[in-house]
Amino acid sequence: MSRKSVTALRRKIREQGQEPEFHRGNCNWPKQELTERSLTMAEFVRETKIEDVDFIKIDTDGGDLEAAISCEDIFQSHEVLGVVIEMSFFGAFTSTENVFSNVDIYMRKQGFKLYNFTVIRNARAALPMPFLEPWPGPNVSGPPSWGDFLYLRDPVDSEHAGHWGFDPSPGKLLKLICLFEMFGLPDCAAELTVERRDAISDRVDVTWLLDTLTPLLNGEALSYEDYVARFYSAPEAFFPQGPESRAEEWSYHRHVSDMAALMARHFKQDPCK
């Protein structure tokens, strides 16, 4: 029997033969038959003749490890750069359970590194906590239940890159830089830009790219070189300056929701080849 408060509530609703609107809209879809045929990701890519795959989002509500394993044939052949996969933090002690300990081992073997994750919490039924949304779901507090986990390639780590089975083209490197920035990792984007400067310099203005990735420092716009120099000459400038300073500043002062589109204006040739 589940110890989660949300599960206890849903059970109580079913026992009473009720299904409030806020409950029905969120929970009826598992009863629907979506398709008579199932495909592995590799089969789908081959049948649809997709030649290039940069990023994969996996969210199957329970079968995510199986879905990830079905991608194995294309991780290398199609040079996949990143994966977001939903999984539980805890579960049965089996190697096939869709839990973090199993999925992380598998993803690392495929040449990916964990870069970020979200945490969804579910309070115990013994003392229910407020919900985050206007429907029975995640709570504001409680043990971690599940989340979305971001895995990306790391071309800077030569030992890690040895697990890839391919050497990323300049176009793939630029796409990975975009992915880092899009997921709130401008430092990783800058590191890759610096370390693989020679590989991408004929496709994009590297100085412009680094300056674009550089955040404001206490309200001051600096070039990438000046920003890094300030870190070493005046590290106290990177300390919190007030209770709201970092929260507002790291909403990406120059953040571009479509980084690739902006970069395209500075490419010297087609970036994807």
Lookup: tokens for 176: 């990975």
User: Domain check: are 52 and 143 in the same one?
Assistant: yes
Would residue 177 count as lying in a domain?
yes
Q: Kindly state whether residues 216 and 155 are assigned to the same domain.
A: no
Q: Which domain holds residue 82?
A: 39-161
- Residue 197 placed within a domain: yes
Is residue 232 a part of any domain in this protein? yes
Distance CA 254, CA 89 (A): 34
Exposure string of 97-112, with b = 16+ CB inside 10 Å and e = fewer, is bbbbebbbeebeebbb
Query: Which pLDDT score is estimated for 261?
Result: 57
Q: Is residue 15 part of a domain?
A: no
State the pLDDT at residue 253: 40
What is the CB-side half-sphere exposure of residue 72 using CA atoms within 13 A?
Answer: 12
The predicted structure's pLDDT at residue 94: 86
| CA–CA distance, 47 with 70 (Å, rounded to integer) | 14
d(CA 113, CA 66): 19
Q: In this structure, are 141 and 203 located in the same domain?
A: no
Token code pair at residue 42: 């590799």
The rounded average pLDDT for each run of 10 residues, N- to C-terminus, in the chain (273 residues) is: 82 77 52 73 92 93 91 92 94 88 94 95 95 89 95 88 77 96 96 96 96 94 97 95 56 47 54 54
Model confidence, pTM = 0.84
Q: Which three-class secondary structure state does DSSP give residue 82?
A: strand
pLDDT of residue 252: 43
Q: Quick check: is 23 in a domain? A: no
Q: What is the pLDDT of residue 233?
A: 98
Question: Which amino acid, one-letter code, is at 196?
Answer: R
* Number of other CB atoms surrounding residue 162 within 10 Å: 9
pLDDT at position 66 is 93
1/175 Cα distance (integer angstroms): 45
Helices and strands in the chain, H and E counts: 14, 5
154 and 86 together in one domain: yes
Do 149 and 188 belong together in one domain? no
pLDDT of residue 179: 96
Q: Quick one: pLDDT at residue 72?
A: 92
Q: Does residue 185 share a domain with residue 150?
A: no
Quick one: angle between helices 186-195 and 170-182, nearest 10? 160
Let me know whether 260 and 153 are in one domain: no
Q: Which among 109, 139, 161 is the end of a domain?
A: 161
Q: Are residues 43 and 122 in the same domain?
A: yes
Give me the pLDDT at residue 7, please: 85
Per the structure, how many domains does the chain have?
2
User: 135 and 229: one domain?
Assistant: no
Assess whether 223 and 126 both reside in one domain: no
